[in-house]
Amino acid sequence: MNEIPSMWRKELLHPLFVHFPIGLLIITALVGIAAILFRNKKYAGKLRFNFSLQLFLGIILFWITFYTGQIAYGVEVRKICDPTVLKDHLYWAYVAGYIFSAGALIELVRLIWRKKIAFLLFLAVALSVGGALSLTYAGHLGARVVYQQAAGVYHPSPDCTEFE
């Protein structure tokens, strides 16, 4: 009799952690755009604060998620039919991480520097938008890995005896 594998396999940590940072960082880019568009409104400071907070939290969670992706990569690359899709997913995740990290670094400089230069906010937001675009493409490739290559998915036996 076959046994159903544990839900807590190490390659399943990545899908468990990945979705919140993706949503958070994409919304961060939108909040950053709003902070630029409405910079002369009374709530502009709140938008800038939210942008900073979301960017810093999002980049920390992103790199934790990236680490869990590295763990899953070591397991799944041997199981899928076309490992180039997984390698492209990894590449675009790197690109997104570096772009968001550069944006977070510029935002940190903007917050620490006594002269609040609007160009630094614009640059941090532009990097966040670029990071969101590359993160979206990395997510698309991740979906291809799961749904077209069946990575991390359990395939029951033809007669489903493991559910008896």
State pLDDT tens for residues 104-152.
999 999 999 877 788 999 999 999 999 999 999 999 999 998 888 777 6
Residue 162 has pLDDT above 70, yes or no: no
**Residue 107: predicted pLDDT:** 95
Q: Report which DSSP code applies to 93.
A: H
| Range of weakest confidence among 32-36, 79-83, 158-162 | 158-162
Cα 135 from Cα 25, distance rounded (Å) = 9
> Helices H, strands E: what count in the chain?
4, 0
CB 102 within 8 A of CB 127: yes
Q: What's the pTM value of the predicted model, to 2 decimals?
A: 0.85
Stretch among 33-37, 62-66, 78-82 having the lowest mean pLDDT: 78-82
CA torsion sign for 34, 122, 21, 44 is negative
Q: Does 156 have pLDDT greater than 60?
A: no
Q: Quick one: average pLDDT of 58-63?
A: 96
Amino acid at 39: R
Residue 163 has pLDDT above 70, yes or no: no
Secondary element (H or E) of residue 63: helix 44-76
Tokens representing residue 7 in the block: 């839900």
pLDDT for 1 equals 46
Query: Is the pLDDT confidence value at 102 over 80?
Result: yes
Lowest mean pLDDT among 30-34, 78-82, 139-143: 78-82
Q: Tens digit of pLDDT for each residue in 37-50?
A: 998 888 888 999 99
